[in-house]
C-alpha cells in the first residue's frame, strides 16, 4: 500500500552503477528455455507435454528504484548494511531457478517511481532477471509505477515493448479506463485434442492508483468500462471453448491478476484463509462491483493481487480464491524478520486413459520465501475440477488421476 512508503526520503542517484547493472544483465541475456514448447497461438504459452503442467511465479511489489544505491526497508538492523535493490534482483534469480516457471507475472509497484532517477531504466533493471533467463513474462501496474519520469500510459507502453514481454496496453478499438487491460490464452499440450484451444485463461487489469473523484478518498478501482471488456472477453472465450470442436462441458478456468485488493478481501478471518493478515485491506473506499463481475462470468477460479505487502493469504468467497502474493521487494515496506516472498501457481491437466492430456484438473499454489533454504510454505489446492458444484461424469474418468 502507499501511505507507509510516502514518508521515505529520496535517495541519491548513482546512474553509472545502474547502467553497469543493466548492461551486465543485457550482455548475459539469451534465451535458454529450449525445452519449453511454446509454439502455439499468439502468445506461444502452452502446457508442458511431460508433466501436463503450466506454472506461474507471481512477483508483487518489487518497488525497484536505482539498484545498488537504493536501500532496503524494514529489514533487521544487522541486515541493513549491503542491502539494496540488488537483493530483490538476487531473489528473482533464486526463485526462477528453483521453480523454472512457464510465465512470470509482475502484479504492480514493480518500480517505486518516486525514488527512481529514470523510470524506464528502473523498470529494465527490475525485470532483467526474467529476460536474462529467457522467461516469458507479463505485467500490470500498481499505484507507484508512474510516480517517476513516466506516466501510467508511458510506463505500461514501456513494459509492453520490452523483450519477452507478453504484456498488452489495452484491447484494440475499445474505449477503456486505465493501461494494461489484456488477456493471455494458454493452449493445451501440443498435438493433443486441446492443443489448439485455450485451456487456461489469464486476465490482467489496471486497478488504478488513486481516486480522481473528489468526494471519494483513497485508492482507485476497476471501472465499469474494464468490467464490460472483461465480461465480453470471458464470454467469448467460454463460447469458443464449449461450442467449437472438440466441444467442452465446462469453461476453461480463468485466473485474474491486478494490483489493488477488492473490498471482498476483507471477508476472511484466520478461520477461513491460508497465510497471514498483518495489516488492513487497502482497497478502494467504494466497491465498483468487479468481484460480482468475476462471479457472474463463471470461469474465474482465483484472483491474485499485491499492494498490501505483509498480507499473503488466500481465502475463498463465492467459489473464487482471493489471493495476496506478499511483498517481494527489499525497497518496499515489509516486516523485519518476515521474509520477502513470491507466490507460485501451478496448474495441472487431467490425464486421459491412453496417457494424453485433457483440460485443467487442478490449480495449486504455494509461496517461496527468500530465506537460506528458499522455503516453500502454505501449499494448498485452490481449485479442483469436479469439486465446485460440478459433478464428475461417472464411469468416464479413472479413479486415480495418475492412471494407476
Ligand atoms: C543482500 O545481499 C547481500 C549480498 O549478496 C547479502 O550479503 C545480504 O545478506 C542480503 N541481505 C538480505 C536481507 O537478504
Ligand atoms: C470466515 O469466518 C468468519 C468467522 O470466523 C465469518 O464471519 C466469515 O463470514 C467467514 N468468511 C467466509 C468468506 O467464509
Tens of pLDDT along 93-132?
Answer: 999 999 999 999 999 999 999 999 999 999 999 999 999 9
| Residue to mutate (ligand 1; options 83, 93, 335, 373; most atoms within 8 A of CB) | 83
Distance 159 CA to ligand 2 centre (A): 38
Q: Which atom of ligand 1 is nearest to the CA of 91?
A: 14
Give domain status of residue 389, yes or no.
Answer: no
Give domain status of residue 396, yes or no.
Answer: no
Confidence (pLDDT) at 364: 98
Percentage of the chain with pLDDT > 90? Answer: 83
Closest CA to 274 of 202, 364, 387: 364
Q: Which atom of ligand 2 is nearest to the CA of 272?
A: 1
Q: Which atom of ligand 2 is nearest to the CA of 317?
A: 13
Give domain status of residue 69, yes or no.
Answer: yes
**Which pTM was predicted?**
0.88
Q: What are phi and psi of 316, to 5 degrees?
A: -105, 125
Distance 329 CA to ligand 1 centre (A): 13
Q: Which residues contact 65 (CB under 8 A, 6 or more apart)?
A: 11, 85, 111, 112, 115, 116, 117, 122, 331
Q: Which residues contact 23 (CB under 8 A, 6 or more apart)?
A: none
Give domain status of residue 402, yes or no.
Answer: no
Confidence (pLDDT) at 39: 39
> Is residue 391 pLDDT above 60, yes or no?
no
| pLDDT per residue as tens digits for the range 245-272 | 999 999 999 999 999 999 999 999 999 9
> Is residue 397 pLDDT above 50, yes or no?
no
Give domain status of residue 400, yes or no.
Answer: no
Cβ of residue 389 lying under 6 Å from some atom of ligand 1? no
Confidence (pLDDT) at 355: 85
Confidence (pLDDT) at 43: 78
User: Which numbered ligand comes closest to the C-alpha of 272?
Assistant: 2
Distance 273 CA to ligand 2 centre (A): 9
The closest residue, in CA terms, to atom 7 on ligand 1 is 82
Residues within a 6 A CB radius of ligand 2: 267-269, 271-272, 317
Give domain status of residue 318, yes or no.
Answer: yes
Q: What are phi and psi of 120, to 5 degrees?
A: -65, -40
Confidence (pLDDT) at 354: 87
- Look at the chain and report how many structural domains it folds into: 1
Mean pLDDT for the chain overall: 89
Which position has the higher pLDDT, 365 or 404? 365
Tell me, letter by letter, the H, E, C secondary structure of 181-223.
Answer: CEEEEEECCCCCCCCCCEEEEEEECCCCCECCCCCCCCECCCC
The closest residue, in CA terms, to atom 13 on ligand 1 is 79
Distance 266 CA to ligand 2 centre (A): 10
Cβ of residue 79 lying under 6 Å from some atom of ligand 1? yes
Distance 321 CA to ligand 2 centre (A): 14
CATH at residue 139: 3.60.21.10
Minimum mean pLDDT range among 31-35, 297-301, 364-368: 31-35
CA 85: distance to chain centroid? Answer: 20
Give domain status of residue 183, yes or no.
Answer: yes
User: Which numbered ligand comes closest to the C-alpha of 320?
Assistant: 2
User: Which numbered ligand comes closest to the C-alpha of 80?
Assistant: 1
The closest residue, in CA terms, to atom 11 on ligand 1 is 83
Domain of 231?
A: 3-384
Cβ of residue 87 lying under 6 Å from some atom of ligand 1? yes
The closest residue, in CA terms, to atom 8 on ligand 1 is 83
Instruction: State how far the Cα of 327 lies from the Cα of 333, in Å rounded to an integer.
Output: 8
| pLDDT per residue as tens digits for the range 180-218 | 999 999 999 999 999 999 999 999 999 999 999 999 999
Confidence (pLDDT) at 360: 98
Give domain status of residue 391, yes or no.
Answer: no
Which position has the higher pLDDT, 354 or 334? 334
Instruction: State how far the Cα of 357 lies from the Cα of 282, in Å rounded to an integer.
Output: 41
Which position has the higher pLDDT, 53 or 353? 53
Instruction: State how far the Cα of 291 lies from the Cα of 258, in Å rounded to an integer.
Output: 12
Amino acid at each position: 500500500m502507499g501511505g507507509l512508503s510516502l514518508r521515505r526520503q529520496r535517495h541519491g542517484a548513482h546512474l553509472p552503477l545502474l547502467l553497469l547493472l543493466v548492461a551486465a544483465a543485457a550482455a548475459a541475456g539469451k534465451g535458454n528455455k529450449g525445452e519449453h514448447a511454446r509454439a502455439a497461438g499468439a502468445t506461444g504459452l502452452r502446457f508442458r507435454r511431460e508433466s501436463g503442467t503450466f506454472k506461474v511465479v507471481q512477483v508483487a511489489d518489487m518497488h525497484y528504484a536505482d539498484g545498488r544505491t537504493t536501500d532496503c526497508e524494514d529489514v533487521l538492523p544487522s541486515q541493513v548494511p549491503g542491502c539494496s535493490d540488488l537483493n530483490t534482483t538476487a531473489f528473482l534469480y533464486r526463485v526462477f531457478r528453483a521453480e523454472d516457471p512457464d510465465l512470470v507475472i509482475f502484479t504492480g509497484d514493480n518500480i517505486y517511481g518516486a525514488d527512481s532517477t529514470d523510470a524506464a531504466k528502473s523498470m529494465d533493471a527490475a525485470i532483467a532477471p526474467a529476460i536474462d533467463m529467457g522467461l516469458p513474462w507479463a505485467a500490470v501496474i500498481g499505484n507507484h509505477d508512474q510516480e517517476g519520469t513516466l506516466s501510467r500510459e508511458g510506463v505500461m507502453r514501456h513494459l509492453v515493448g520490452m523483450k519477452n514481454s507478453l504484456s498488452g496496453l489495452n484491447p484494440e478499438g475499445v474505449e477503456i479506463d486505465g493501461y494494461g487491460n489484456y488477456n493471455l490464452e494458454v493452449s493445451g499440450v501440443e498435438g493433443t485434442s486441446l492443443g489448439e484451444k485455450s485451456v487456461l485463461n489469464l486476465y490482467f487489469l489496471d486497478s488504478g492508483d488513486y481516486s480522481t473523484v473528489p468526494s471519494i478518498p483513497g485508492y482507485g478501482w476497476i471501472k465499469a468500462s474494464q468490467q464490460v471488456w472483461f465480461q465480453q472477453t470471458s464470454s467469448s472465450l467460454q463460447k469458443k471453448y464449449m461450442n467449437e470442436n472438440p466441444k467442452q462441458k465446462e469453461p476453461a478456468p480463468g485466473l485474474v491478476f491486478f494490483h489493488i485488493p477488492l473490498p471482498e478481501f476483507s471477508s476472511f478471518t484466520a478461520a477461513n484463509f491460508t497465510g497471514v493478515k498483518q495489516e488492513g485491506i487497502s482497497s478502494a473506499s467504494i466497491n465498483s462491483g468487479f468481484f460480482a463481475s468475476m462471479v457472474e462470468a463463471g470461469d474465474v477460479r482465483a484472483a491474485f493481487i499485491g499492494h498490501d505487502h505483509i498480507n499473503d493469504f488466500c481465502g475463498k468467497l463465492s467459489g473464487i480464491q482471493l489471493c495476496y502474493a506478499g511483498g517481494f521487494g527489499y525497497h518496499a515496506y515489509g516486516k523485519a524478520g518476515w521474509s520477502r516472498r513470491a507466490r507460485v501457481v501451478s496448474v495441472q491437466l487431467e490425464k486421459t486413459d491412453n496417457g494424453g492430456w485433457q483440460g485443467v484438473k487442478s490449480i495449486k499454489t504455494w509461496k517461496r520465501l527468500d530465506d537460506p533454504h528458499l522455503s516453500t510454505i502454505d501449499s494448498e489446492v485452490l481449485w479442483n475440477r469436479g469439486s465446485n458444484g460440478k459433478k464428475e461424469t461417472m464411469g468416464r474418468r479413472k479413479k486415480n488421476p495418475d492412471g494407476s
